Amino acid sequence: MKALILAGGLGTRLRPLLNDRPKPMAPIAGKPFLEYLLLQLAHYHIQDIILSVGYQAKLISDYFEDGKRWNSRIQYSYEGQPLGTA
């Protein structure tokens, strides 16, 4: 089974709290919020994950890389320009 996570938004409602990072990278108890989602998916044996990224995508891809740390396989779908809200 595969999972698609939309992680490309600007996060404007969380500004100024997250000016330096995208919303999925918001720190919660020392980990990015998105990491908790990956842990939940791994718990349910969902290992093929596609992250749809846009705003500050490099911060996300640099942190999660290919997903091996979470026993997952992460691929990235890059949004070149904002296409609107989900």
pLDDT of 46: 96
pTM of the entire structure? 0.86
pLDDT in tens, 32-81: 999 999 999 999 999 999 999 988 999 999 999 999 999 999 999 998 77
What does the chain look like in DSSP terms, one character per residue? -EEEEEE----GGGTTTTTTS-GGG-EETTEEHHHHHHHHHHHTT--EEEEEE-TTHHHHHHHHTTSGGGT-EEEEEE-SS-----
